């Protein structure tokens, strides 16, 4: 059985490690909005933990030195790191783990996370949810909000991509 840091919730452990004080974060540009990372697992007391952009980078592993501590003997001491990349996206980076970092059944060294991604670290499975911050959306100017063009045939809306 896997346990989080002596029975304390992973949310509490993450809060203790990362601190509750929030530092200001520059507004995102284009599609890279400030985001909240939610990791879901039956392993967590509350079923999930949440990290704000200001909490990143954050490490995950079985060592007390990790920001998120999970007692899984198949997980490395500092297995992986969640961080913000230059485009404002949250990515998962393997920290030379012994038993690999797997996202959506693929071994990864670095992976930009999306809602619905399934992460496997050791024997620990995590489901990813990303929520754009309402403040980040509010701070965008109309020039920064992607334009959604109707399709030429009048049926539906064209896909919008970040670039």
User: pLDDT digit string (tens) for 79-137?
Assistant: 999 999 999 999 999 999 999 999 999 999 999 999 999 999 999 999 999 987 555 54
Percent of the chain at pLDDT > 90 equals: 53
Structure tokens at 102: 């797997």
User: pLDDT digit string (tens) for 64-92?
Assistant: 999 999 999 999 999 999 999 999 999 99
**Residue in 19, 31, 7, 20 with CA at minimum distance from that of residue 136:** 31
Q: How far apart are CA 58 and CA 18, in angstroms?
A: 8
**Residue in 23, 118, 101, 1 with CA at minimum distance from that of residue 59:** 101
CA atoms within 13 A on the CB side of 115: 6
Q: Is the pTM of this model over 0.85?
A: no
Query: Is-contact 66 4, C-beta < 8 A?
Result: no
């Amino acid at each position: 059985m896997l346990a989080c840091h002596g029975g304390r919730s992973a949310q509490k452990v993450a809060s203790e490690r990362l601190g509750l004080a929030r530092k200001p974060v520059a507004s995102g540009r284009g599609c890279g909005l400030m985001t909240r990372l939610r990791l879901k697992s039956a392993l967590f007391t509350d079923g999930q933990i949440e990290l704000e952009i200001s909490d990143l980078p954050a490490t995950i592993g079985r060592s007390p030195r990790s920001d998120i501590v999970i007692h899984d003997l198949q997980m490395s001491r500092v297995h992986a790191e969640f961080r913000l990349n230059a485009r404002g996206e949250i990515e998962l980076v393997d920290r030379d783990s012994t038993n690999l970092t797997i996202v959506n059944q693929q071994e990864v060294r670095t992976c930009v996370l999306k809602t619905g991604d399934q992460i496997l670290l050791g024997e620990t499975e995590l489901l990813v949810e990303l929520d754009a911050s309402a403040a980040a959306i509010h701070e965008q100017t109309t020039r920064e909000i992607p334009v959604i063009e109707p399709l030429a045939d009048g049926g539906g809306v064209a896909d919008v991509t970040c670039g």
